[in-house]
Structure 1
Amino acid sequence: MDIVNFFESLAGKWFSQRTTHNLAGQSSQAGQSNLLIEFLPASDGDLVQACAPLGHDPSHIACGLRIHQDSQLDGETKKIQSSALMVILTPSASGEGVLIQAAGSAVLQGSYRVEAEVLTITTPTETGQVEERLWFVNPNLRMRTSVVKVGDTEQIASFCSEIRMGLAKPTT
């Protein structure tokens, strides 16, 4: 599957069940999210604009995603709502590429690769990195894991199972 087709398959309305483990504090927390993910073609103006602060050539954009998230953590009364933009730049011959994440005024650059139908995104942080892996069990069920490292120590790990609720994968 090429990278554009993989990101197209992420589009839709998803319900996510998440469990997050704080490894250092030996605690866990569950939560749920409703995700609305919109596939964006390489020509989308918002993708071009997101590349500007990091100096990337817009002709290298492969595609992008606009993600709206509405989350609720178990035991919390306040919902968390956010929106983000992901810009996927054309991968190198080895299959790795640059991924830009923009949320509000924050713009982060990481890398991605797809191996054996599993997407891995690695994003450096000020103190370490976040590694996220995503794969499909079937077209309407996907799994996602993430690990937050501070230095070389894994601090937080999470697992999500996500069910497509609507807006099926676009047909090309």
Structure 2
Amino acid sequence: MHFKPPMTMMDFFRKSEGIWFIERNVHHFDVTDNESGESNLIVDVIEPDSSKVAEVCALQNVNPKIATGGASFRWMATTDEKEPNADYAAILIDIPDDESKKTGKLIRNKGYVEGIPVVSRYWFGDDGILTINTDYDNNQGQERAWFINDDFRVRVSSVRMMNGVNLVTYCSERRCVSPVKLEQMLAHHN
């Protein structure tokens, strides 16, 4: 069976829905220390009629009627935690440029680099790679993400400070499979 990558933001959000195990490496160019770690990412799709769409669009004075929906992202050190930390959460709303929905804006209630409401530009390459550019007050961020298959994806990002690139991050992300889905997969392969 041939894998088909998502080519619109809402398809990307829908394919991303669920819990992901992330292994990341961060290289800081301004210090000698680098870091690596593991965490979990929880992604939930937000439909266009959700009140969250209107709330986030209001932060940027954007008409919520042009939004196609969005997603909430919550990061946790481990899924054993009782509740995700609100400081490690963001809501992204999709505002496509045209009917192709391959390019557009992401309206965020909170940016990754600076914790302020921000608007990002995105586009999908013909190869299915999603690129997101974000201009903050003092930084610029670029993130690229793509699915290897339905349950594994890769993310790379860089943050550019006014004096040059400050850090580069590589993440491999593996979907956490529920016990029910695992049983179905085992039954299918036996």
Q: What's the TM-score once normalised by structure 1's chain length? A: 0.85
Q: Does 1:30 align with 2:41?
A: no
Structure 1 vs Structure 2 CA RMSD: 2.2
Asked whether 1:145 is paired with 2:156, we answer: yes
Equivalent residue number for residue 99 of structure 1 = 106
Identity %: 25
Secondary structure of 2:65's counterpart equals helix
The answer to whether the 8 Å contact 1:128/1:152 transfers is no
Counterpart of 2:135 in structure 1 is 124
Displacement of 1:26: 3.2
Name stretches of at least 5 consecutive residues in structure 2 with no aligned partner. Answer: 1-6, 79-83, 182-190
CA shift for structure 1 position 150 = 1.1
Q: What is the aligned length? A: 161
Select which of 67, 83, 93 maps to 2:89. Answer: 83
Name which structure has the greater RCO, CA cutoff 8 Å, separation 6+: 1
SS at match of 1:166: coil
Q: Distance in 2 between matches of 1:151 and 1:93?
A: 35
Q: Could you tell me how far apart the structure 1 residues matched to 2:110 and 2:161 are?
A: 22
Distance 2:110 2:8 in 1: 26
Provide the C-alpha distance between the structure 2 equivalents of 1:121 and 1:92, rounded to a whole number of angstroms: 17
d(CA) in 1 for partners of 2:152, 2:97: 26
The DSSP-based 3-state class of the residue aligned with 2:59 is helix
Asked if 1:71 corresponds to 2:77, the answer is yes
**Alignment match, 1:112:** 122
Higher normalized strand content (fraction of residues): 1
2:38 is aligned with what amino acid? Q
Q: What letter matches 1:28 in structure 2?
A: N
CA distance in 2, matches of 1:8, 1:151: 35
Give, as a single letter, the amino acid of the residue that structure 1 aligns with 2:140: Q
Q: Which residue of 2 aligns with 1:75?
A: none
Partner of 2:187: none
Higher helix share: 2
Q: Hey, what's the Cα distance between the residues in 1 that align with 2:60 and 2:92?
A: 14
Q: Which amino acid letter does the alignment assign opposite residue 50 of structure 2?
A: D
Q: Deviations over 1:40-93 (max 9, x none)?
A: 111111111110121111111012001111137xxxxxxx83221111112336
> Of residues 46, 64, 69 in structure 2, which corresponds to 1:40?
46
Give the 3-state SS of the residue equivalent to 1:9 in structure 2: helix
Does residue 55 (structure 1) correspond to residue 65 (structure 2)? The answer is no
Larger radius of gyration: 2
TM-score with structure 2 length normalisation?
0.77
Code of the residue aligned with 2:145 in structure 1: it is: L
